[in-house]
Amino acid sequence: MADDTLAEEQMTALQVACDTEVSGCLFLMRTEESDKERLLEITRDHVREQHGKDYTLEEIDEQHVNEVEV
């Protein structure tokens, strides 16, 4: 989807890096803040499928999501 209507002020994004201690996992994802729900869900699915661990969206949100400047 092409969405080039950038806000002028808000230039932060949300980033999740997979920080389980599994060697070789380079999962990293960055989205806009408005896409947070999707970010959390994709991360949850990744951790479940790749690492066999169940996190709630809330846990991921609180522990693993970082705000980064774009």
| Cβ distance to Zn ion smaller for residue 3 or 49 | 49
Could you tell me where the DSSP H helices lie in the chain? 36-51, 57-64
Query: Number of residues in contact with Zn ion, rule: CB under 5 A?
Result: 4
| Cβ distance to Zn ion smaller for residue 13 or 29 | 29
| Cβ distance to Zn ion smaller for residue 33 or 45 | 45
Asked if 27 touches Zn ion (CB under 5 A), the answer is yes
8/55 Cα distance (integer angstroms): 34
15's tokens: 């980033």
- Cβ-contact 60, 66 below 8 angstroms: no
Asked if 29 touches Zn ion (CB under 5 A), the answer is no
- Which residues here bind Zn ion, judged by CB under 5 A? 18, 25, 27, 50
